[in-house]
Amino acid sequence: MIMSFLENLDWRYAVKSFDIDKKITKEKLQKILYSIEMTPTSFGLEPYRVDVIENSEDLKKIQGFSFNQAQVGNCSHLLVFSARTDIMDRIDAYLQLASGGDKEVLKTLEGYGDVMRGFVQSQSSEEILVWAKNQVHIALGFALAACAELRVDSCAIGGFLPDKIQEFLKLDEKFIPTVLLPIGFRVENPKSKKVRFGLDDL
């Protein structure tokens, strides 16, 4: 039976420990990455990159940069979401992509290009980073939902040292690690019910 999106939300929870021996198939990983690719973002600029780590030694190292949280070390795969800060270049790349390299089509997109550039120019670099990180979190949400649909467990991780991970992964300084997503298969069952403030609180 196909479960609905809402039922999937009841199935998922933030897993604290994964079965180190169970690996996600390539097919499922591709589908999770597809959910990130299809995420709607501001201007469609997808201002992020995602690195997939599966080497167990690398995972242990990154666990060390994540306040030793076990789920980072014993997951099947770790998705490292980094916000991009090179947005002017990204706009040029977007316009090239959207126009398919056709000069005439490119001309018709220049107005949109100006709107995007105007937005970037109106923001400080700190504001642009916040904006890019916001887009990362939309992608995170889509990935969390895709994982649940595929019956892949996950746990978003904001508790880590971005500088250490940027250095370890040899990321260019324009990429700012923003959130981690270890994925795999749960070894425990949730002990307590979900803690939620309730609809009246929304």
Ligand X SMILES: Cc1cc2nc3c(=O)[nH]c(=O)nc-3n(C[C@H](O)[C@H](O)[C@H](O)COP(=O)(O)O)c2cc1C
Binding site for ligand X (CB under 6 A): 13-14, 16, 69, 155-159, 179, 194
In whole angstroms, the minimum distance from the beta carbon of 124 to ligand X comes to 23
Nearer to ligand X, 132 or 179 (CB): 179
d(CA 29, CA 177): 20
Q: Which of 75, 25, 78 is nearest to 187 (CA)?
A: 75
Is residue 160 within 8 Å of residue 180, measured between CB atoms? yes
In whole angstroms, the minimum distance from the beta carbon of 50 to ligand X comes to 15
Nearer to ligand X, 116 or 147 (CB): 147
In whole angstroms, the minimum distance from the beta carbon of 135 to ligand X comes to 13
Q: Cα separations (Å) of 163 from 43, 108, 158?
A: 28, 40, 13
In whole angstroms, the minimum distance from the beta carbon of 72 to ligand X comes to 9
Quote the Cα angle for 139-67-134, to 5°. 20
Q: Work out the burial of residue 25: count CB atoms within 10 Å of its CB; fewer than 13 is exposed, 13-18 middle, 19 or more buried.
A: exposed
Q: Which of 73, 60, 116 is nearest to 91 (CA)?
A: 116
Nearer to ligand X, 68 or 125 (CB): 68
The H-assigned helical ranges of 23-124 are 26-37, 56-64, 70-73, 87-99, 103-121
Nearer to ligand X, 16 or 117 (CB): 16
Nearer to ligand X, 91 or 140 (CB): 140
In whole angstroms, the minimum distance from the beta carbon of 95 to ligand X comes to 31
Rg (C-alpha) for the chain, rounded Å, is: 19
Nearer to ligand X, 44 or 158 (CB): 158
In whole angstroms, the minimum distance from the beta carbon of 14 to ligand X comes to 4
